[in-house]
Amino acid sequence: MSLPKRFLLGRPLRSGQLGQTLLPKKLALPVFCSDPLSSNAYATEEILLALSLGGLALIHLTPWIAAAVIILLAVVVLSYRQTCYGYPNGGGAYVVSRENLGVNASLVAASALLVDYVLTVAVSVAAGVANLASAMPALAPHSVQICIGLVALLAIINLRGIRESGTVFAIPTYGFVAAVGIMILLGAGRVLAGHTPEAESAHFGVQPSHGTTGLLAVALLMRAFSQGCTALTGVEAVSNGVPNFKPPKSANAAATLTIMGALTITIFTGITGLALASHVRIAADPRLLTGAPAGYEQKTVITQIAAAVSGSGSVLFYLVAGFTAAILVLAANTAYNGFPILASILGEDGFLPRQFSRRGDRLVFSNGIVILAVLASVLIWAFNASTTRLIQLYIIGVFVSFTLSQTGMVRHWTALLRQGPAPGGETGPRTVWRHRARLHRARLINAVGAVLTAAVLIVVLVTKFTHGAWIVVIAMPLVFMMMKAIHGHYEQVAAELAPSEDAVSLPSRVHAVVLVSKLHTPTLRAIAFARATHPSTLTAVTVRTSAGETEELEEQWDRYGVPVPLTVLDSPYRDITGPVLKYVGRIRRRSPRDVVCVFVPEYVVGHWWEQLLHNQSALRLTARLLFRPGVMVTSVPWQLGSAEALAQRPEHTELTGRRDHRS
């Protein structure tokens, strides 16, 4: 397994090489911001889809909804800039909530983010494959398999290291920005020149399926706004990953956030403007498009704009379509960086298994990457890779974490304001005034962000709950309770393992028991090792499952003059485990302060299939003995030829040496 692993992931990196994996802004942008940048491919489309439920009557409100989304995005970006400076060790919403709002609030934020990261991978990959399938219909029946394959491929790339993944994803990310940027500039130039491009669906009507007056109209507007807010997904990933930036970490992370915000707002504005100018028509069901030819296959908004601006067979059209599909798939990379980092912090705090806090061979949090890929694959399989069904579960967790993070930051700045003078000991009036003015400004930004994101959270919950968001509403409390249970387990274990006087007191006596099945070299070695420990008593024990075999063993025992008494336990039902447990239990009952040490001879084999042929009885018995108080189990290994051959292989020797060095 070593060579395939090295081929896929590369050679291990030393802990001292961690600094070499830190990211400059040009690589951090594709690593942490591919999700919010890629959301431009469908944010405008989601707004138009929601408004089209009322026919064409509400389409003229698209600019106002887009403006509200842009304002919200700007506020959230400014808010998370404060988080980058306030919490340079990363952790985002979880750490901010933990230090300012308490443990329960932080776990709510963490559960929201963990669920949303899984959904980010599933939605992004499904959306990218859906775009590919629309261009190549032959792929459509295999969408689930393709999605799962891409999830696995992204996992492998990220397991190779964060810097390598940034290099791989830089071309699709910057290619998307460049191709869409050229499309927007070319389209805007045509509009200004009086040659407004016209979408292929411009002459279609949209049959309304909902009313457009009163509360129904308000509901549609709220739904359109909540779906447009998908443009905000992934913004928090930068604040989670501040430690992965090159120094000055906080400044570089904040600058990356600003660049991402500016690019997202520009692209979102340009796509929305061109969609309205070219009269793009789109509906949740193509049959609602009146005037469309029979069998008409609806294209995405961004594809229709590219075709209207440069022609459906142009180089720019294929560049936009290709880079859009690529960045939609690679948008999952934001989650592949955010999820493992958050899981590692939760692991350190004892709310997830400790294994999540350990870095792998390539200095990334490998366990988090693997479990994210598995969970996303299960979700894709369960929802049949349907973007329409998956996207309804989206962004609930985002706005839960947004709201808690911004509320926590308000309390953070308030606490700093109460401390008085500026840090560093400078107490001059002008210095103090500037320091307090900066804190007041930061608190105001986060307060506005908290209010807006809380309001949007309510809107999203109301509009998406019956469309599938209820699944997330159930999943988040389940994850919350799981993390509380894990933490409770770790606390209980720590309490039980705390040093005590009884733990260091010597046992009255040690009774050694050597398990014997046959008289051979491994058995004699186990007996010799047991004798070398000088126990108070030493007995060899065998279980009579076959009268002939037991008689032969007793005859050999006498013939070779083994200097240890052999005790034979009867087993009328041919069970080995039960009689041994009863025998050990009798020794313990006679003197509870004594210790029983059971020596188990074991074969060490070199191939996995050989393990199935040996040691099964020993494994079952050992597993049962481990649960008996006052009983110690000592494995006495005997290496067979295949194990010795494996030990001589260069890669095995190298790995063993590295493992010994680490220990």
pLDDT at 332 (0 to 100): 80
Q: Which of 227-241, 371-385, 619-633 has the lowest mean pLDDT?
A: 227-241
Q: Quote the pTM value.
A: 0.74
Other beta carbons within 10 angstroms of residue 315's beta carbon come to 10
Regarding predicted confidence, which is higher, 567 or 392?
A: 567
Checking if the pLDDT of 663 tops 60, the result is no
Which of 148-157, 175-184, 300-309, 543-552 reaches the highest mean pLDDT? 175-184
Q: Spell out the domain ranges in the chain.
A: 2-401, 504-662
Other beta carbons within 10 angstroms of residue 62's beta carbon come to 20
* Domain range 504-662, CATH class: alpha beta
Separation CA 518–CA 523 (nearest Å)? 7
Taken in order 245, 251, 253, 255, the sign of the CA dihedral is negative
Among candidate residues 326, 33, 335, the one with its CA nearest the CA of residue 175: 326
Widest Cα–Cα separation across the chain: 109
pLDDT at 421 (0 to 100): 59
Please give the average per-residue pLDDT across 615-619, as a whole number: 71
Other beta carbons within 10 angstroms of residue 291's beta carbon come to 11
CATH topology of domain 2-401: Amino acid/polyamine transporter I (1.20.1740)
Among candidate residues 331, 62, 364, 413, the one with its CA nearest the CA of residue 206: 62
pLDDT class of 11 with cuts at 50, 70, 90: low
pLDDT at 255 (0 to 100): 92
pLDDT class of 27 with cuts at 50, 70, 90: confident
Separation CA 345–CA 347 (nearest Å)? 5
Regarding predicted confidence, which is higher, 103 or 661?
A: 103
Separation CA 195–CA 198 (nearest Å)? 9
* Tokens (6 digits) for 596: 């029983």
Q: Which residues, including other chains, have CB under 8 Å from residue 408's CB and lie 6 or more apart?
A: 93, 96, 97, 99, 100, 101, 105
Separation CA 520–CA 572 (nearest Å)? 25
Regarding predicted confidence, which is higher, 211 or 258?
A: 258
Q: Which helix (H) or strand (E) holds 60?
A: none
Per-residue DSSP letters for 286-311?
GGGEETPPTTPPPPPHHHHHHHHHH-
Phi, psi of 596, rounded to the nearest 5 degrees: -105, 125
E strands in 92-204: none
Helix (H, G, I), strand (E, B) or coil at 508: coil
Checking if the pLDDT of 378 tops 90, the result is yes
Residues in a beta bridge with 289: 206
Separation CA 244–CA 35 (nearest Å)? 18
Do the beta carbons of residue 618 and residue 515 sit within 8 Å? yes
By DSSP bridging, strand 566-570 and strand 595-604 are unpaired
Please give the average per-residue pLDDT across 367-376, as a whole number: 92
The pLDDT tens digits for 490-545 are 998 888 777 766 656 777 889 999 999 888 888 999 999 999 999 999 999 999 88
Separation CA 303–CA 297 (nearest Å)? 12
pLDDT at 175 (0 to 100): 92
Do the beta carbons of residue 546 and residue 518 sit within 8 Å? no
Please give the average per-residue pLDDT across 462-476, as a whole number: 80
Residues in a beta bridge with 604: 639
Q: Which of 6-10, 336-340, 592-596, 637-641 has the lowest mean pLDDT?
A: 6-10
Regarding predicted confidence, which is higher, 644 or 288?
A: 288
Separation CA 423–CA 417 (nearest Å)? 11
Checking if the pLDDT of 651 tops 70, the result is no
pLDDT at 1 (0 to 100): 45
pLDDT class of 16 with cuts at 50, 70, 90: low
By DSSP bridging, strand 289-290 and strand 631-639 are unpaired
Per-residue DSSP letters for 385-430?
T-HHHHGGGTTHHHHHHHHHHHHHHHHHHHHHHHH-SPTTS---HH
Alpha-helix runs per DSSP H in 420-542: 429-464, 470-497, 501-504, 521-532
Separation CA 327–CA 180 (nearest Å)? 12
Regarding predicted confidence, which is higher, 136 or 146?
A: 146
> In whole numbers, what is the pLDDT of the chain averaged over residues?
82
Per-residue DSSP letters for 599-643?
EEEEEE-SSHHHHTTSSHHHHHHHHHHTTSTTEEEEEEEEE-HHH
Instruction: Give the chain's radius of gyration (CA, Å).
Output: 32
pLDDT class of 180 with cuts at 50, 70, 90: very high
* Tokens (6 digits) for 121: 């991978």
Please give the average per-residue pLDDT across 123-147, as a whole number: 80
First to last CA, the chain: 22
Other beta carbons within 10 angstroms of residue 145's beta carbon come to 14
pLDDT class of 655 with cuts at 50, 70, 90: very low
Checking if the pLDDT of 374 tops 80, the result is yes
Q: What percent of the chain has pLDDT over 70?
A: 86
Do the beta carbons of residue 32 and residue 241 sit within 8 Å? yes
Checking if the pLDDT of 182 tops 50, the result is yes
Q: Which of 370-379, 518-527, 633-642 has the lowest mean pLDDT?
A: 633-642
Q: Which residues, including other chains, have CB under 8 Å from residue 656's CB and lie 6 or more apart?
A: 647
Please give the average per-residue pLDDT across 391-416, as a whole number: 84
Q: Which amino acid is residue 658, in one-letter code?
A: R
Please give the average per-residue pLDDT across 450-465, as a whole number: 82
Separation CA 556–CA 388 (nearest Å)? 74
Q: Which of 27-41, 175-189, 212-226 has the lowest mean pLDDT?
A: 212-226
Q: Which residues, including other chains, have CB under 8 Å from residue 645's CB and lie 6 or more apart?
A: 606
Q: Which of 224-228, 289-293, 331-335, 500-504 has the lowest mean pLDDT?
A: 500-504
Q: Which amino acid is residue 74, in one-letter code?
A: A
* Tokens (6 digits) for 539: 């007995």
pLDDT at 661 (0 to 100): 34
Checking if the pLDDT of 70 tops 50, the result is yes
Among candidate residues 542, 599, 548, 596, the one with its CA nearest the CA of residue 571: 542
Residue whose tokens read 């904040």: 254
pLDDT at 106 (0 to 100): 92
